[in-house]
Amino acid sequence: MHEDGESTKASRKNWRPQGVLTWLLTVVACLLAVITATLAYCMLYPVRWDGLGRFGAAALFFPLHLLVATLAAVALAFVATRCRARLAAALFSLAAVLATIMALTPTIAMWQQARELNVPLSLGTYLANAAHMNKGLPQTDRSVVYGTATDGTKLELDLWRTVRPNTGTLRPAIVWVHGGAWTHGNRSMLPDWNRWLNELGYEVFDVEYRMPPPVRWQDEVGDVKSALGWVAVHAAEYHVDLARISTIGNSAGAHLAMLAAYSMGDPRLPTSTDVPPVAVHSIINLYGPTDLALLHRTCKSPDMSMPR
């Protein structure tokens, strides 16, 4: 019994940090383990997007970046092992395993879906998208005013042309509505999408709309409708087929694109400027909400779903 007690004490002593370096490694390991576990929780469970949720979203958008954390944790685990900091080594190893799972699980799921849809994936494209995330700014050399609101605001959009001659068959048009939780963002925020659509033969009109403060949700819809009307009025100038004007939006922009199209002509949601109603040919919704009442009841970030 005495020997067993001594063995237990010795084992506990081996796990207890000894010296300044092992204590430092242990503190760093604890912090890394807590950060990694918190991020894993944010990726698995939808928490407030105006808080920690934004980090979980970023990790889901670009999961392979977490492999950097894996490599760092493995290197620190090696150092801790050499320094005989057993607790630190165990915590670093735990962080490395968590980071690896967090990096590979969404990546593999995305790869499987892309394979099913015959969509090619490229590491170079992934890294390029990460480097340019949210860096798109209004293209002033492409900007035109599509109307003046009753409050005096000049409403602008960016023209993304196909650079094809205005002859032959009329071309389809896309009115792009940017996302940003109805509160932020700007036109031409995702320029690569516009270039791709141009390559496919679409004339793209990337719209800016008014955002809060003050409360703007009706104005936002009216602005999108006004942009659609402006495109219709100028269809001949841009060689656009009036019967093939479509809307596309991402996130909140997708909601506005749908609402503007499906409520066209509804007096409860009028246009912001004096333009004719447009029969929208099609709507492309990129991960945009469709039932805001349900969203508000179930959202973990209720402030983000309130009208502004």
Tell me the CA distances in angstroms from 153 to 19, 248, 251, 260, 308, one per residue in order.
Answer: 65, 24, 24, 19, 18
CA distance 13 to 5: 12
- Amino acid occupying residue 50: D
User: Would you state the pLDDT for residue 300?
Assistant: 65
Tens of pLDDT, residues 108-148: 998 999 899 888 888 887 887 776 555 688 999 999 999 99
Tens of pLDDT, residues 24-65: 999 999 999 999 999 999 888 767 766 777 888 888 888 999
196 within 8 A of 180, measured Cβ to Cβ: no
Of the CA atoms within 13 Å of residue 15, those in its CB half-sphere come to: 8
Tens of pLDDT, residues 62-82: 899 999 999 999 999 999 999
Query: What are the chain's domains?
Result: 2-131 (no CATH), 143-305 (3.40.50.1820)
Q: For the chain, count helices (H), then strands (E).
A: 10, 6
Q: Tokens for 139? A: 């293209």
Burial-class residue 87 by CB neighbours within 10 Å (0-12, 13-18, 19+). Answer: middle
Instruction: Say which residue, 287 or 173, is predicted with more confidence.
Output: 173
Average pLDDT over residues 207-231: 94
User: Would you state the pLDDT for residue 8?
Assistant: 46
Average pLDDT over residues 6-12: 48
